[in-house]
């Protein structure tokens, strides 16, 4: 079997984009743009983790923020208790990943036997329970007030933190891409399309869904750790429903089941929030910018029902199919000439 070449058009384009993002901080001195792009990368990681559930497994979760918050609190508490060195920071990320893996495994076993909205509502209930625990455990989490902490000294330079988050994004994307392209990922897609038929083929669908849930939880915790360090502050807002809704909307707007789509969705939403809130300071009409933001969501769903990337891929596929058909179909004049030759009317 011929091995697929890694130098495909999509891989080349993505590599060029990655190189351009690496170069940006060396050619631009805009601190605002650097911070904005860093936030896009962080929420892009979160949206990719949600896409593993929604796009490749067909699971809708309303409690995804609990893994994001678990990573954020793990990093914040450990950096607050110990020295703010790079080694401690990496250790805090690992702790958040391990805790999220255990929690997602436990939640997956409890809830993934349920179907449709029952699963979504139960994950929302468990997320609410975790949020209450964080609010009441004030000796550690400081409750709703939250607390500040010191990030590693190397991240005092925003460019270094930008490059670190970008590296995390690239590594996460490669891991997710390999995961969904592997046989295990193909089974998850089969589960999304028809779980009963997949089970009838002998696959234990619950096991595969739990694996996807654990991986999505681990990746979400990484984004939470990075988010906490970007703010140098953490409170219960990192476990709010808004975080889950942001991840859901980024995935839907960008394109469900594409991995690249959530990154584009994160870019669109973060840029829209930044510039609309900025316009509100100068123009009174934009003071209710959240309404305009809602209109953007509605228009995106109407004109891009499969998301930006999904709609583009659909249109490209239709164009490619039409072009192939036109190339295989001979001109009408040649058809008539051939028919006349067959009847002997034309020598």
Q: Taking the CB of residue 180, how many other CB atoms lie within 10 A of it?
A: 21
Least confident of 70-74, 191-195, 283-287, 294-298: 283-287
Q: Is the pLDDT of residue 344 over 60?
A: no
Question: Which H/E stretch holds residue 148?
Answer: strand 147-148
- Mean pLDDT (whole number) for 186-191: 89
Based on the number of CB atoms within 10 Å of its own CB, is 37 exposed (0-12), middle (13-18) or buried (19 or more)? buried
- SS3 assignment, position 28: coil
Q: Is the pLDDT of residue 144 over 50?
A: yes
Under a CB-based contact definition with an 8 Å cutoff, are residues 94 and 69 in contact?
A: no
The percent of residues above 90 in pLDDT, for the chain, comes to 40
Q: Taking the CB of residue 347, how many other CB atoms lie within 10 A of it?
A: 5
Q: Is the pLDDT of residue 172 over 60?
A: yes
pLDDT digits (tens, 9 = 90+) for 53-77: 988 888 888 889 999 999 999 999 9
Biggest CA pair distance of the chain: 98
The pLDDT mean for the chain works out to: 85
d(CA 110, CA 213): 12
- Sequence-distant (≥ 6) Cβ neighbours of residue 56 within 8 angstroms: 180, 185, 188, 189, 192, 212, 257
Give DSSP secondary structure letters for 312-325. HHHHHHHHHHHHHH
d(CA 134, CA 224): 15
Task: Give the model's confidence band at 326: pLDDT under 50 very low, under 70 low, under 90 confident, else very high.
Answer: confident
Q: Is the pLDDT of residue 1 over 50?
A: no
Query: What is the per-residue pLDDT for 134?
Result: 92
pTM check: above 0.85 = yes
Q: What is the dihedral of CA 187, 188, 193, 194, to 10 degrees?
A: 70
Lookup: tokens for 20: 């351009």
Query: What is the per-residue pLDDT for 57?
Result: 86
pLDDT digits (tens, 9 = 90+) for 71-87: 999 999 999 999 889 99
- Sequence-distant (≥ 6) Cβ neighbours of residue 10 within 8 angstroms: none
Q: Is the pLDDT of residue 347 over 50?
A: no
Q: Is the pLDDT of residue 2 over 50?
A: no
Q: Is the pLDDT of residue 5 over 80?
A: no
Query: What is the per-residue pLDDT for 116?
Result: 61
pLDDT digits (tens, 9 = 90+) for 13-50: 888 999 999 999 988 888 889 999 999 999 999 999 99
- Mean pLDDT (whole number) for 102-125: 80
Lookup: tokens for 136: 């009441």
Query: What is the per-residue pLDDT for 238?
Result: 93
Q: Is the pLDDT of residue 345 over 70?
A: no
Query: What is the per-residue pLDDT for 58?
Result: 84
Pick 60 or 112 by higher pLDDT: 60
Query: What is the per-residue pLDDT for 289?
Result: 67
- Mean pLDDT (whole number) for 105-133: 82
Query: What is the per-residue pLDDT for 86?
Result: 93
Pick 76 or 143 by higher pLDDT: 76
The percent of residues above 70 in pLDDT, for the chain, comes to 90
d(CA 98, CA 218): 7
Q: Taking the CB of residue 139, how many other CB atoms lie within 10 A of it?
A: 7
Q: Is the pLDDT of residue 3 over 60?
A: no
Strands (E), 31-102: none
d(CA 113, CA 164): 38
Least confident of 121-135, 175-189, 322-336: 322-336
Give the up-direction half-sphere exposure of residue 11: CA atoms within 13 A in the CB hemisphere: 8
């Amino acid at each position: 079997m011929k091995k697929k070449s890694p130098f495909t058009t999509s891989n080349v384009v993505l590599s060029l984009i990655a190189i351009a993002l690496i170069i940006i901080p060396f050619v631009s001195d805009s601190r605002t743009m650097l911070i904005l792009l860093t936030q896009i990368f962080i929420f892009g990681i979160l949206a990719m983790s949600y896409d593993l559930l929604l796009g490749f497994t067909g699971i809708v979760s309303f409690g995804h923020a609990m893994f994001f918050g678990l990573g954020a609190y793990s990093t914040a508490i450990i950096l607050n208790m110990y020295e703010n060195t790079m080694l401690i920071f990496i250790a805090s990320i690992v702790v958040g990943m391990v805790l999220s893996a255990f929690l997602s495994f436990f939640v997956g076993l409890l809830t993934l036997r349920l179907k449709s909205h029952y699963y979504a509502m139960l994950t929302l209930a468990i997320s609410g329970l975790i949020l209450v625990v964080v609010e009441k455990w004030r000796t550690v989490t400081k409750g709703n007030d939250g607390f500040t902490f010191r990030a590693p000294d190397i991240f005092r330079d925003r460019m270094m933190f930008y490059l670190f988050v970008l590296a995390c994004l690239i590594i996460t994307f490669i891991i997710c891409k390999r995961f969904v392209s592997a046989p295990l990922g193909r089974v998850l897609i089969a589960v999304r399309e028809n779980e009963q038929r997949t089970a009838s083929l002998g696959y234990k669908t619950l096991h595969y869904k739990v694996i996807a849930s654990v991986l999505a939880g681990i990746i979400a915790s990484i984004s939470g750790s990075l988010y906490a360090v970007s703010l140098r502050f953490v409170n219960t807002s990192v476990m709010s429903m808004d975080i889950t809704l942001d991840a859901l909307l980024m995935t839907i707007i960008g394109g469900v089941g594409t991995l690249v789509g959530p990154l584009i969705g994160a870019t669109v939403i973060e840029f829209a929030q930044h510039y609309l809130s900025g316009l509100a300071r100068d123009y009174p009409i934009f003071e209710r910018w959240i309404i305009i933001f809602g209109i953007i969501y509605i228009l995106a769903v109407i004109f891009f029902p499969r998301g930006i990337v999904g709609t583009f891929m659909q249109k490209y596929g239709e164009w490619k199919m039409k072009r192939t058909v036109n190339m295989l179909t001979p001109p009408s004049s040649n058809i008539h000439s051939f028919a006349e030759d067959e009847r002997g009317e034309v020598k």
